[in-house]
Amino acid sequence: MPELPETETIARDLDAALRGAVIDAVTVVRGDVLREATAAAFVRVVRGSRITSVNRRAKSIVVALQSHFLVVTPRFTGALLLTEPADDRYTCLHLALADGRTLRYHDIRRLGTVALHDAARHAAWDSALGPEPLDLALDADAFWHALRSSRQAIKTLLMDQRKLAGVGNIYANEALWRAGIRPTRAGKSLRRLEVGGLLDALRAVLTESIALRGTTFRDFQDAYGVRGGFAAKLAVYGRGGQHCHRCCTPLRATHRLAGRQTVWCATCQR
């Protein structure tokens, strides 16, 4: 599932390419991806609108129109494309631009969503999310206070979008390995210094992944259909049973935390 680096890559591509573009026509091919609007309402609101900006919030791409917002959450196989996909059968929405280009929402499994928000609904959605990890307004003290009362595993807390927006399974695994913290430790067990190191590790791995345009294992592609390059840099995720890059101990793997793959080093991570 695309996380912060992947959706940030898409949002930056689209903002550079689409800011100021006018949506001339809208075709809804698969209305089941729409949220908070019927197909008819979606077409009525979006057609003729100008795109004022494209940015990211949590794991979603936010296309700001003059009076509404399109909140696109790609999940497993969703993609916003400015190029024609190899198989257009899986395109769910066509947004034809006045300059002749087309923005497509393409989703093989149709587990992603495209929500139409007015200003009030968008503010409510945004306020329900936690702070962004790359926002420097989030300091180690605030992060520590958010974690210190919880008995939940720290990996689970990192992936809770109400506490921290945009982090998913891949980068939670990677940040915890870099910080030397065992994923199963309760949030309340972490010392202030450890939380500061974890926040630094998280910011570093997210920034590095953005520079390489995200992680692609199978489905993720940017707005031009190009795969991300960070998979080769992963230290633990997907490497269960292989040797730790730091101490050569075989990495352990489990699905016991929220049913997601957790990989860690029993020697390095305490």
CB atoms closer than 10 angstroms to residue 26: 18
The three-point CA angle 231-232-235 to 5° equals 85
Residue type, 205: V
Rounded Cα distance between 4 and 70, Å, is 18
Q: What is the bridge-based pairing of β-strands 252-254 and 262-264?
A: antiparallel
**Residue 115, token pair as written in the block:** 């929500």
Give backbone dihedrals phi and psi of 142, rounded to 5 degrees, phi first: -65, -40
**Catalytic positions:** 2-3, 59, 260
Residues 183 and 176: beta-carbon distance below 8 Å = yes
What's the burial of 145, exposed, middle or buried (CB within 10 Å: 0-12/13-18/19+)? exposed
Rounded Cα distance between 270 and 257, Å, is 17
